[in-house]
Structure 1
Amino acid sequence: MNAVDAANKAEIAMMNAVLADNFGQLYADIWKVCVNLSLRISDLLTLKYADLNLGERSLKLTEAKTGKLKTIRLNFAAILVIVRRQQENPADTWLFQVHSNRAKDKPVSWVSVSRVFKDAGELLGLTINTQSMRKSSGMDMYKDGVPVEKIAKVLNHSNTTSTLRYLGITQEEVLKTYDDYEL
């Protein structure tokens, strides 16, 4: 697994602004929705409006990587982006659809998103890729004290060891806890 940065809340907001200002609202919207829903980019880019149940604020999908069924609660930050995109592009099928003549009526490609995120991250001095959104939301939960077991469920990891490794929590950090909590 390549080392990528998990952005903190301030960096998440700066990344959103850099994407919107320098690369277009489409990429800022991808960042915003994905960081709020903790999805893998492969699952996010294949979402169709028909997959979303805005009335129940939910999304049910089968993850491409794991084949696991996942139910997600759409939070209001994600819903605002989804509703705006749907109003601006009422004929679109895909949530993140390309409007260029070369790729008309297709979702934006992972390669395109990856390139743009890398470039935007460099502008901010961060090592960012398509995993960063998911990692950022997981790390934010972890720093807020959400139990690792719950984060593993949100990220749909099969065990907490995978979640700790994904978040970059090292054995040395775990051992340091013993020093930090002398009672």
Structure 2
Amino acid sequence: MAEVQAVKNLDTVRLVSYLLEKRCSRQMSQIWNIGLNLALRISDLLAVKFTDINNDRLIIYESKTSKLAEIKLNDKALTLINEIKLTHPHHIYLFQSYRNQQAINSKPKPLSRRAVTKAFALVGEELNIHLGTHSMRKTRGYHLYQKTHDIARVMKMLRHSSEATTLRYIGITQEEIDKDFEELEL
């Protein structure tokens, strides 16, 4: 299986959202759009509960690293979260499984990683890109880097501990670094 990629073209970022809604569901599109804005790993994103959100902040401990992630929610994320809350006022999880609701006495569960992986792969195949659940984090990191060229800022946002890891993760290649050296003459 090929490594998933950051979506480097902003029109393609919007097209992924559109296709997820048309081919899969509104919920998959919401996962994509909120995931882009929070830059969380999929396991943490799917585990978000409405109680983790306090006004304009999301506060969770990451499952992989146990690091505290305190994320200020931007307007787009807040709008989407409020839309979900209005549509599903009794949900516990931001991305709660609808299938689970059909089992009357079942405890609520978040949507499964497998369902998201399948939906993203379907759209990725249609667009001929390696799209997966990490593509949201990678895409946000890539676009922040392109905007700021501040790798330390991207590292902090992704909560990485090395520049090399972050550059590789967001898909900045040696070829792109070489191009920067060629184009910037002082």
Could you state the TM-score of these two structures normalised by the residue count of structure 2?
Answer: 0.90
The aligned counterpart of 2:3 is: 3
Mapped partners of 1:120, 1:42: distance in 2 = 20
Shift of residue 162, structure 1, vs aligned partner = 1.3
Work out whether residues 145 and 154 of structure 2, in 8 Å CA contact, stay in contact via their aligned partners in 1.
yes
Residue identity (%): 37
Shift of residue 29, structure 1, vs aligned partner = 0.5
* 1:49-105 superposed Cα distances (whole Å, 9 cap, x missing partner): 00001x2x1111111111111110101111111101001101100000011126762
Work out whether residues 98 and 104 of structure 1, in 8 Å CA contact, stay in contact via their aligned partners in 2.
no
Structure 1 ranges of 4+ moved more than 4 A: none
For 1:26-175, what aligned pairs fall within 5 Å after superposition? 26-53=27-54, 55=55, 57-100=56-99, 101=102, 105-175=108-178
Code of the aligned partner of 1:111: R
Code of the aligned partner of 2:10: K
**Structure 1 alignment gaps of length 5 or more:** none
Counting matched residue pairs gives 181
Mapped partners of 2:26, 2:67: distance in 1 = 31
The aligned counterpart of 1:182 is: 185
Shift of residue 121, structure 1, vs aligned partner = 1.2
Secondary structure, aligned partner of 1:60? strand
Could you state the TM-score of these two structures normalised by the residue count of structure 1?
Answer: 0.92
Mapped partners of 2:64, 2:113: distance in 1 = 14
